[in-house]
């Protein structure tokens, strides 16, 4: 296992998820249900499944599209979403 890749992925995801809506949903569900371990397990399973799908799609896309192009498409999509959010469309 490449420890450098592991630590980079861990750090990026950890920082990106701080204060995210997923954390707020987990907080609310745990407080409402009074079952923190069930909420934790369900959250871990759901996030793991989504991550598996995302990583698989990334692997498939990388066979057809260069990382350079993916970076520009992602940047463009972030800009479009930002503009739509500022305009109140989403």
Please tell me the total number of residues recorded for the chain in this structure. 90
Q: Is 1 a residue whose pLDDT tops 90?
A: no
Domain boundaries, the chain: 3-86
> What's the mean pLDDT in 33-53?
94
pLDDT at 43: 93
For residue 8, the surrounding DSSP H or E stretch is helix 3-17
Distances (CA, A) of 18 to 13, 15, 43, 68: 9, 5, 15, 27
The reported pTM is: 0.65
Q: Is 84 a residue whose pLDDT tops 90?
A: yes
Single out the residue of 77, 73, 49, 45 nearest to residue 61, CA to CA: 73
pLDDT at 75: 95
């Amino acid at each position: 296992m490449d420890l450098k890749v592991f630590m980079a992925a861990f750090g990026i995801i950890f920082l990106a998820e701080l204060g995210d809506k997923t954390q707020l949903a987990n907080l609310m569900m745990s407080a409402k249900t009074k079952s923190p371990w069930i909420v934790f397990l369900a959250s871990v399973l759901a996030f793991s499944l989504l991550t598996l799908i995302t990583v698989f799609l990334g692997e498939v896309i990388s066979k057809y599209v260069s990382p350079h192009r993916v970076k520009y498409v992602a940047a463009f999509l972030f800009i479009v979403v930002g503009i739509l959010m500022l305009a109140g469309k989403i």
